[in-house]
Structure 1
Amino acid sequence: MKPLSLVVLCLLGFASAASASSFVGTTDTIGASLANTVEGTTNITSSAANDKVVLEARTDAASFVASRGEVRGVRLEAALNHIRATQPRLEASDMQLAEAILAL
C-alpha cells in the first residue's frame, strides 16, 4: 500500500469516527426533545392514538418536523385543527403536536 493511500484511509477513519460521535450526540438530543414532547402531550396522544384524522397525518408530520416547519401538508393541517378543536385548552406549538403525532 502506498503511503498516500494509508494517509487517506486514516483520515477517512478519523472523519467517520467524528461523524459517528456527532450523530450520536444529535440523536441523543433529538431523543430527549421527543421524550419531553411526548410527556407534555400525553393527553393528546392518548386520545388521538386511535383517531383516523391524526393517524393519517403521520407522513405530513414527519415532513413538517424534518423541514423544521417549512413543509405543511394538508393532512397535518387537518390533524392540527382537529386536535385543537377537541382540546381547546391545549397550549402546544405546531411542532410539538407534529412530534407527538410521530410518537403515536
Structure 2
Amino acid sequence: MNPLRTLGFLSLFALSSAASASSFVATTDAVAGALVGTSDATSDATSSLRDDKIVLAARADAASFIASQGNIRGVQLEAALRHIRQQAPELAGNDLQLAQAILSL
C-alpha cells in the first residue's frame, strides 16, 4: 500500500471517529436534559401526593395488592388510585405501578 493511501485512510478514520464521538455527546446531553425535565415534573407531582391523607391511608392496601400480584384490591387503594388519576393525570401508569408508588411514599 502506498504511503499516500495510508495517510488518506488514517485521516478519514480520524475524522469519522471524531464525528461519532461528538454525535454521541450531543445525544447523551439531549437525553439527560429530557430525563431531568421529566424527573422534575414527576417530583413536583408526587410531592403534593406525599402529604395526601387519601393516598397515605392506602399504603396497607397497596402492599396487599402488590403482594397478591393484583388479586387483592382494597377499598382505600381504589379510592387512592381514582384520586391520583384526578389530581395528577401526568402520573400515567397501570394500577401496579401506582400501587408501588403509593407504597414508596
Tell me which residue corresponds to 1:50.
51
- The code of the aligned residue for 1:92 comes to G
Q: Is the 8 A contact 1:44 1:83 kept in 2?
A: no
Report the counterpart of residue 31 of structure 1 in structure 2: none
Q: Could you tell me which amino acid in structure 2 is paired with residue 47 of structure 1?
A: S
Runs of 4+ in 1 over 3 A off after TM superposition: 41-44
**C-alpha deviation, 1:45, in angstroms:** 2.7
Change (3 A) 1:70 1:43: farther
Q: Deviations over 1:25-46 (max 9, x none)?
A: xxxxxxxxxxxxxx7x544431
SS at match of 2:69: coil
Letter in 1 for 2:94: S
Higher Rg of the two aligned structures:
2
- Paired residue total: 66
Question: CA-atom RMSD, angstroms?
Answer: 1.9
| Percent of residue pairs bearing the same amino acid type | 60
Name stretches of at least 5 consecutive residues in structure 1 with no aligned partner: 1-38
Separation (CA, whole Å) in 2 of partners of 1:99 and 1:63: 11
Residues 25-104 of structure 1: matches in 2 within 5 Å?
42-104=43-105
What's the counterpart of residue 35 of structure 1? none
Select the structure with the greater relative contact order (CA < 8 A; seq sep ≥ 6): 1
| Contact 1:57–1:79 (Cα < 8 Å) also in 2 | yes
Q: Relative to 1, partners in 2 of residues 1:61 and 1:92: Cα closer, same or farther, differing over 3 Å?
A: same
What is the alpha-carbon distance in structure 2 between the residues aligned to residue 102 and residue 89 of structure 1? 19
TM-score (norm 1): 0.57
TM-score by length of 2: 0.57
Structure 2, unaligned runs of 5 or more: 1-38
Q: State the Cα distance separating 1:87 from its structure 2 match.
A: 1.4
**Cα contact 1:80–1:94 (8 A) shared by 2:** yes
